[in-house]
Amino acid sequence: MRLPANLKRLAKMLPPYRNRIFLALLGMLVTAGTEPTLTYLMGQLLDKGFVGKLGFPIWMVPLCLIGIFVVRGVSTFMTTYMMTWVTSRLQNDLRRGVFTKLLDVPLGFYAKHPTGKVINSMMFETQQIIDMVKNVITSLIRDALTALGLLVMLLYYNWKLTLITLVLVPTTAYVVRKTGKRLQRLTQNYLGVNAELTQVLEETTRAQQVIKIFGGQAYERDRFEQRAEKLRSYSMRMSNTFAATVPITQVIAACALSIVVVIALVQANAGEATVGTFVAFISAMLMLLTPLKRIAEVNGPLQRGLAASDAVFEMIDAEPERIDGKTLDHRARGELHFVDVGITYPGAQRPALSHINLTIRPGENVAFVGMSGGGKSTLVNLVPEFFQPDLGEIRLDGVPIRELSLQSLRRQIAMVSQHVVLFDDTVAANIAYGDANPDRARVAAAAKAAHLDSVIANLPQGLDTVIGDNGNRLSGGQRQRLAIARAIYKDAPILILDEATSALDTESERAVQAALDELMRGRTTLVIAHRLSTIERADRIVVLTEGRIVESGSHAELLARNGVYATLYQLQFAKESV
């Protein structure tokens, strides 16, 4: 029988734990040996103990019985402990593999793998794999050894009756094989629906404000009920398929047992079998049903684990971002040159960017404007290579960025987005994020430059105050300023500002804009802004429409041309005047 590829792959992860696995196997072997030993002892007691031919002191009988169960208890505990020790570490290895890969995949990965699916694979599906490993190793080894020992015992007592008993083995294997394919298909569907349910839960907890203000409770309840009911349906079908194997094997066992009893009675009447032999044989046969039943039952967790391993290993095998390129060991000047750059997103009908030719001088402040979907965010996201262009190239100080390592490239860039991302850590840790040895004085200076010093002074532990999930203990403007302080702390030569002041009130915006003006001085700055009043002082304004540059110049020059920019400006000015 050829092992599935995922089982082979899991087996290759086990060598570091081989000593513990050996102890677990030793425990399984000892446990398996106690059952035929017990049946043999009972047969001897019936044949010799009741007619005075025991051959050893009677006080040894309870000692032997107790000894067998003590040895069995110790070996079972050792097996359970060692298997738990190994599988808990294997689970951490799997989760570590998924998590490490999530840090290295390109942003496009998350378009195909929603957050709920990622969390589901990390937490639930890895547990399914571990349950499979526990059941497969324990049942297919310990129970197989137990069954083998009992079969040997049966052959020793009566080989003719054993041949009838052996009908159980191929019959059980046939039932398992028939139900296996159906279980695997149902399990794959079950895991898919479970990922959908996890996604609903993740979105519901994240979008509480939207749900409440727009009255989406009923809609979310329906979404949950639909997936929960679908999950319950698959669970029932899996359970029914799995449970059907048990009564079928039990009926077959009962038929075999009935035949065995009849033949054994005939042999006993003919003087070919003793009472002790008959009882020991029947005991061993009944004991054989338990390991065979557990071997049959392993099919459920085996199929669930194999289906889960497909999803987990798909993530572990995801294509990471490139790791090639030379190291840039100095601070870049900040010149950017876009050479005939174009990119089309997968499945899109038209390019997001087409024939972009643009040179940005060191220290220049360039703003990108245009209607939504014009390509502004795509263009700036190409600079840190969150995406790679399909055509053309981008050069940093004359060097194509594809020739630079991503770590070196991104070390030259700081970014403040309209979608602020903060971590459930201290203010200081968020400001110095990514710095293995943060400078406390620089942290304080960055906070002051972002006009956060007065906010920090009112926090319970100052810079050491934990700000909660995504900074939920701060106001929107404070969160934005904290993100700006993080960019100030990094002190990179290239700065990307994507609606950096969008969440600020008028007073905060004036304070932070002053800090940004100071921050942008001497740095190459790429600004995306929908409020055109915030970029009037930019050195150059680039207007993008449907992925193409249609205008470029200063604010005054573009207004004088009375083109696309002037139209956008007049429309926005008219709205603000109303």
**483 located within any domain:** no
Least confident of 147-151, 350-354, 485-489: 147-151
List Cβ neighbours of 417 (8 Å cut-off, separation of 6 or more).
483, 498, 499, 500
pLDDT bucket at 275, cuts 50 / 70 / 90: low
| DSSP codes joined into one string, 423-443 | -SSBHHHHHTTT-SS--HHHH
- Residue 216 domain-assigned (yes or no): no
Q: Is residue 133 part of a domain?
A: yes
Q: Tell me the residue type at 99.
A: F
Report residue 577's pLDDT band, with 50, 70 and 90 as the boundaries. Answer: very low
Q: Between residues 150 and 379, which one has the greater pLDDT?
A: 379
By residue range, what is the domain housing residue 137? 5-179+246-316
- Assign 3-state DSSP to the chain and report helix, strand, coil percentages, each to 5: 65, 10, 25
Name the packing angle between helices 18-48 and 275-297 (round to 10°): 150
Structure tokens at 400: 């194509």
What is the pLDDT, as a whole number, of residue 158?
73
Query: Residue 260's domain is classified under what CATH number?
Result: 1.20.1560.10
d(CA 136, CA 148): 17
User: Which tens digits make up the pLDDT trace of 128-151?
Assistant: 898 888 877 777 788 888 878 777
Q: Determine which of 298-302, 304-308, 402-406 has the lowest per-residue pLDDT on average.
A: 298-302
458 phi/psi in degrees, rounded to 5: -95, 0
User: Has residue 115 been placed in a domain?
Assistant: yes
Domain-located, residue 253: yes
Position 51 in a domain: yes
Residue 15 lies in a domain: yes
Q: How would you class 112 by CB atoms within 10 Å of its CB: exposed for 0-12, middle for 13-18, buried for 19 or more?
A: exposed
Give residue 310's pLDDT band: very low, low, confident or very high (50, 70, 90): confident
What confidence tens digit (pLDDT) does each residue in 36-87 have?
Answer: 777 777 766 666 665 556 566 666 667 777 888 888 889 889 988 998 899 9
For residue 362, pLDDT over 90 is answered with yes
Quick one: average pLDDT of 563-578? 74
pLDDT averaged over every residue in the chain = 82
Q: How many domains does the chain have?
A: 1
Give yes or no for a contact between 542 and 549, defined as CB atoms under 8 angstroms apart: yes
Which pLDDT tens digit goes with each residue over 495-517?
998 876 665 556 666 666 776 77
- Residue 385 — pLDDT band, cuts 50, 70, 90? very high
What Cα–Cα distance (Å) separates residue 342 from each residue in 13, 163, 347, 547, 557?
A: 43, 74, 15, 9, 27
pLDDT value at position 343? 94
Q: Is position 368 within any domain? A: no
Which residue, among 156, 396, 174, 191, has the nearest Cα to 284 in the 3D structure?
156
